[in-house]
Amino acid sequence: MVKRALQRLFYLAAFILLFGLTCSLLSSPRLEKLFYPFHYREEILAAAAEQQIDPLLIAAVIQAESGFREDAVSAEGARGLMQLLPSTARWIAERRGESDFHPDKLFDPRYNIAAGSWYLADLLRQFHGSKVIALAAYNGGRGRVQRWLEEEIWDGSEAGLEQIPFSETRAFVRRVLDNYRRYRRLYGKME
């Protein structure tokens, strides 16, 4: 009986120790950076500087969109790190004065980050710097989001995300904002 009680106590102590170590490791910034990497740092910093937006917001979008996989393709056909649809990318290329656009360019990290960052910055300008609204437009389309705001379907706030009619857009905005907060905590303020 005493032996069994000691055995249980040993297992409990071992569990508590293991649980504590696991929690400690999981909250470690080094380990967390494995799940929230900052790949393509040079390309992101260059695009962020050119577009005058926070590089960590770009990283947060990339993490949500592709998990930093440059060859990612969505079911809808969005391509690359920032998951741009070829039609959107063609529109971006026209606005940027490019005459040699081809959808395969979206698999080039430098090009994808530059184009996606331009688009994100354009949305931020249109929506007066609101990250929440710009992210909703990045996913759901600027025209739709403009309509939701004008028709008071959505108030444009993070607190009001449940008002967004598309669950995918709600989830995307939440995921990017969560990523953004993590990136700021892990990599510091970079604006």
65-86 residue pLDDT tens: 999 999 999 999 999 999 999 9
Domain 37-187 -> CATH class? mainly alpha
- Tens digits of residue pLDDT in 98-121: 999 999 999 999 999 999 999 999
Of 32, 42, 43, 65, the active-site residue reads 65
Q: What are the extents of the domains in the chain?
A: 1-35, 37-187
Q: Which residue type does 71 have? A: D
Distance separating alpha carbons of residues 98 and 41, to the nearest angstrom = 24
pLDDT at residue 13, rounded to an integer: 62
79, β-bridge pairs: 73, 84
Mean pLDDT of 90-97: 97
Mean pLDDT of 138-150: 98
pLDDT at residue 30, rounded to an integer: 82
Residue 6 pLDDT greater than 70, yes or no: no
Residues 173-176: contacts with CB under 8 Å, at least 24 apart: 173/132, 173/135, 173/136, 173/139, 175/64, 176/57, 176/60, 176/61, 176/64, 176/135
pTM of the entire predicted model: 0.84
Respond yes or no: is residue 65 known to be catalytic.
yes
- Tens digits of residue pLDDT in 149-158: 999 999 999 9
